[in-house]
Amino acid sequence: MRILIALSLLFSLSILRAQVDRSIMPKPATPAQIQLPETEMWRTKNGMIVILSENHKLPKVSFDLTLGYNPGLEGAKAGINELTGSLIMSGTKSRSKDQLDKEIDFIGASLSASATNISLSTLTKHLDKGLALMSDLTMNASFPESEFKRVVDQFKSGLVSLKSEGGAMANNATVKVNFPNHPYGEVTTFTSLAAISLADVQSYYKENFTPQGAFLVIVGDINRTQAEKYIDTYFGSWTGGVPSQPQFTDPQKSDGNQVYFVNKPGAVQSVIHVTFPLSMRMGNPDMLKMSVLNDVFGGSGFGTRLMQNLREDKAFTYGCYSGLNTQNNGGWITVSGNFRNDVTDSAIREIVNELNRLVAEEIKSEELELTKAVKNGSFARSLERPQTIARFAYNIQKYGMPNDYYKTYLKQLNDITTEDLKKISQTYLKPNNFNIIVVGNESVLDKIAAFDSDGNVVKLDEFGDVKMDKKPSDLSLDALLTEIVLKTTGTGNLEAAKKKISKVKTLVQKSSMTTEQIPFPLQNVSIYTNKGIKAEKVEVQGNVAQKQYFNGKEGYQFSMQTGKKSLSAIEIEMESTEMGVVPELLWLTSVKKPELRGIEMENGAYYYVLKFTFGSEAEVYYYYEKNSLQKAKTVRVMNKDGESQTAITTYSDFKEVNGIKFPHKSIANLGPLTLNITVDTLTINGKVDLKEFEQKD
């Protein structure tokens, strides 16, 4: 009997093995409709739409206010929106910035603001105090003039650093070319920033910070009765008119690929963006399908088509991704990555080919199923956050999405087929109709021109505006250097200039330096002697953080982090070109002369541009304003181990000291660090002590 039972079991198992093919992934069950916690929604008397999502697991509450206006065109004053947002936390009519910061810290709350949003997160027991601060900002932001000037200076520092950030320049170009005559395509420049007054900011705040159409999303340890009471207490008196709601049509790209180039001197890599506007906004019924298509193509992870091709197969880059952006007033797709100069053209070719493939070929079922699985897991994890449920309700109300959109999300995702994605790609993508943006070295220009439909590459500046080609200089190099020396010294001929300069035996410049990254001022001391010695140190609260010394032949650099190291041959050569009170005088007779690059236009002004090249390791550019001939900017590019580092310094506030003009303000951008430098004293022919620089270790 036992033998018969055993044989029967063995036979049954053999049948099961024959029936189950474990090499085939089992089909997932049909997703059930998700049971999401309910949210409550109501409109207040003054026009706010309130969304409440209760969650009593922790004694915390967040109030998130999103204003109801649509940004419009700012034109010549592009940047008002951003500047206003940066100033809201600068104080109210009854609280200074310091008082506001202290009160927020005292209750351990988080309070932040932008041009369209004010958010509070606090413990339930401190909600009264937190909402008092939040409502005060919402209705009574004061915009002190001192804070306005401080933030404007911050913006200027950021604009200076832009030229060293390839990704930021590519982003500016992307929005400019995708969205002409559209709010998304406006970029803050030096010119537009200078046009914005404090009155403009105050007016913008008054017109747009209104309860009409605003969304107040509340999440956490609070019920409706309590919420209504708090809203009435702290926002009941808030009034204002209907906010502006300008409408904009989706931009249409003209036929054919268009190549745009932004010059980044000395770059050893190209930042590439292949981008195009998309006739798809938030709430579009095809949004989920387009999101799936984008994820298959290059949205995330190493398994995407872009990563498999450009990283795994070709080894052109560490990463290449596609970004899908759908917003209230338009959408766009951008493929981006950093690529070596020598493969810039090859990378563009592969990206364009991959985009064209999306239209020509059907997505493989394996690619689709993998992407679905990833999105499924991501959606499930998002439900663990209380804010997610409130965000779902906000999206449904704001963008007119179906009421059951998120409840049926997994079913919608599961139902997407490869045929659906083929239809989506053919509806929204057009082969060889892309904006191709390259930020990099001018050496790649000839290579990338082949990708433009008519062969005409459009050159842009760092803000994405069309840049005029360099013009030939109207002066020879020697004539230009002579004029610079004469203007700097206020003399009529070179002999008089030399005589004035020769009277400078020593120069000591003491400056204060501030930066957002360091909460206290730094001190800088620079020393020059006519014996060919240059010395400089930076002190932080009395401690020497950096020091440099050069005696005309050799020298060293010191920093707290790396210690002391001798100057390299290239660094010695670079220091040698900047000797003297007026180095341009030395360049007239020097064996190594700068190259006169011509005349360039930046931010509405013309500049003579000079360039020194130090082998393949470094380049230094000098910009002189055409009319005044004052040195406006230097750009230093150092290349090492396949990477380039750019340091940019701008100069202003020129004043005469002993008849020679010196800049008394400058902004130095050193990678992530931007320093605002103000000269406190500049002493000529005073006593100089070099002992601390010359002492041996």
Please indicate, yes or no, if residue 206 is contained in any of the structural domains. yes
Asked if 326 and 282 count as a contact pair (C-beta separation under 8 A), the reply is yes
- Give the range of the structural domain holding residue 319, as residue numbers without chain letter: 258-460
What share of the chain has pLDDT > 70, as a percent? 95
Please indicate, yes or no, if residue 623 is contained in any of the structural domains. yes
Please indicate, yes or no, if residue 317 is contained in any of the structural domains. yes
The pLDDT of residue 33: 67
230 and 379 share a domain?
A: no
Nearest one of 409, 334, 496 to 33, comparing CA atoms: 409
User: How would you class 644 by CB atoms within 10 Å of its CB: exposed for 0-12, middle for 13-18, buried for 19 or more?
Assistant: buried
Asked if 319 and 337 count as a contact pair (C-beta separation under 8 A), the reply is yes
Give the confidence band of 15 by pLDDT, cuts at 50, 70, 90.
very low
Give the confidence band of 562 by pLDDT, cuts at 50, 70, 90.
confident
Higher pLDDT, 603 or 68: 68
112 and 176 share a domain?
A: yes
Q: CATH number of the domain at 491, please.
A: 2.50.20
* First-last CA distance in the chain: 96
204 and 287 share a domain?
A: no
Give the confidence band of 23 by pLDDT, cuts at 50, 70, 90.
low
The pLDDT of residue 32: 59
Average pLDDT of the chain to the nearest whole number: 91
In whole angstroms, how large is the CA radius of gyration of the chain? 31
Please indicate, yes or no, if residue 224 is contained in any of the structural domains. yes
90 and 162 share a domain?
A: yes
230 and 351 share a domain?
A: no
The pLDDT of residue 516: 82
Please indicate, yes or no, if residue 246 is contained in any of the structural domains. no
Give the confidence band of 13 by pLDDT, cuts at 50, 70, 90.
very low
Please check the confidence at residue 124 and state whether its pLDDT lies above 60.
Answer: yes
438 and 332 share a domain?
A: yes
pLDDT digits (tens, 9 = 90+) for 649-696: 999 999 999 999 999 999 999 877 889 999 999 999 999 989 888 866
Q: In angstroms, rounded to a whole number, what is the distance separating the alpha carbons of residues 550 and 540?
A: 22
pLDDT digits (tens, 9 = 90+) for 462-512: 999 999 888 999 999 999 999 999 999 999 999 999 999 999 999 999 999
142 and 221 share a domain?
A: yes
Asked if 620 and 242 count as a contact pair (C-beta separation under 8 A), the reply is no
Give the residue-averaged pLDDT of 75-102.
95
The pLDDT of residue 29: 57
155 and 183 share a domain?
A: yes
398 and 493 share a domain?
A: no
Please check the confidence at residue 14 and state whether its pLDDT lies above 90.
Answer: no
Structure token pair of residue 452: 């433009």
441 and 481 share a domain?
A: no
The pLDDT of residue 1: 38
Give the confidence band of 11 by pLDDT, cuts at 50, 70, 90.
very low
Nearest one of 664, 620, 662, 659 to 638, comparing CA atoms: 620
206 and 318 share a domain?
A: no
60 and 179 share a domain?
A: yes
pLDDT digits (tens, 9 = 90+) for 214-263: 999 999 999 999 999 999 999 999 999 888 888 899 888 888 999 999 99
The pLDDT of residue 85: 95
Q: Which of 203, 235, 267 is the last residue of a domain?
A: 235
Q: CATH number of the domain at 130, please.
A: 3.30.830.10
Please indicate, yes or no, if residue 34 is contained in any of the structural domains. no
Please indicate, yes or no, if residue 249 is contained in any of the structural domains. no
What is the domain count for the chain?
3
The pLDDT of residue 8: 41
Q: Which of 430, 460, 490 is the last residue of a domain?
A: 460
Helical (H) or strand (E) element with 14? helix 2-19
Please indicate, yes or no, if residue 75 is contained in any of the structural domains. yes
Q: Which of 201, 235, 269 is the last residue of a domain?
A: 235
Long-range contacts of 522-528 (CB under 8 A, 24+ apart): 522/675, 524/677, 527/688, 527/690, 527/693, 528/580, 528/581
The pLDDT of residue 358: 94
Residue 119 backbone dihedrals phi, psi, to 5 degrees: -130, 140
Higher pLDDT, 326 or 5: 326
Please check the confidence at residue 17 and state whether its pLDDT lies above 50.
Answer: no
